[in-house]
A = this chain, B = another copy of it.
């Protein structure tokens, strides 16, 4: 900028005025400045600008597990849309479900002075965020609640979804219903398991622990677990899969073993309706969750001081065939 000022034979401040369209500059002067800018290939340094202005960086931080999972890429997309409309840029990072990595990412993002943070938590203790919260950092949690702190949180109704799925299978005559779900340290896996177990108990059937596989976090592991279920001497006649990875794993197991077990998955996924037996799912909108979270964050950044909210987004069952297969 100093170089531009020199080249245009004006003061630093005048260049600043031109660059920021502040007005109060004679057109001819402005023209000279513009020319110098083009000649020198000048780009305003946003870091210096932000530093001086004291305001934060115009960026939001996003911490998810893995962009390559459609659930998270849908969220990312929605967050980016909202951010863009408000003039923010998004710095996203994947925690890979590792609490330490999550903490690292958050620290780095805070050091970069993001204005707000959207987090799908991996860990269960977020007190390390307290100092930042006190300094005015806005944080909204998605899909899972934070541990040890109060903060805005957008969840989906996992228990209800699992209940709907299980009741649907019961209504179609199933009694031996298995479940394949994510790691039991993951909030959604626990809630979905809870919804399933409650419903089984309410139906007077109870839970056969043999039929429950909590742990598979990717498609391959879910397929293995599902094969184990289907290979039992008294196998389940239906499987409830706890998330999109688990559903696809279960689907592969069912197809590979030639089983005709019924299947309902949590999370919708592309082509679910196009498979040989279209897959019934509990559906909801990751994009909506991302949008709502980002909008809430922006409201906080705009000064909304209302007490932290906890929102539950509804889910619904989409019967497509696989959940209606009889025992």
Residues of A within 8 A of B (CB): 38, 40-48, 50-51, 57, 59, 66-68, 70, 73-74, 76-77, 80, 84, 89-94, 107-113, 130-132, 134-135, 248, 251-252, 255, 270-271, 274-276
Contact = CB atoms under 8 A, between A and B. Distances in A.
A257 to B, nearest CB: 14
A46 B113 contact: yes
Contact of A270 (B130, B134, B248): B248
Given A59-B91, A271-B248, A276-B275, A73 B67 contact: yes
**A-B pairs, 7 with minimum CB distance:** A41-B131, A73-B73, A68-B77, A46-B111, A47-B47, A276-B276, A67-B76
B93 A80 contact: yes
28 contacts: A38-B131, A40-B131, A41-B130, A41-B132, A43-B107, A43-B110, A43-B135, A46-B108, A47-B47, A47-B50, A51-B51, A66-B77, A67-B67, A68-B70, A68-B73, A70-B70, A70-B73, A73-B76, A80-B92, A84-B93, A89-B93, A89-B108, A92-B92, A251-B274, A270-B270, A271-B271, A271-B275, A276-B276
Nearest to A79: B67
Contact of A111 (B44, B77, B275): B44
Contacts of A42: 131
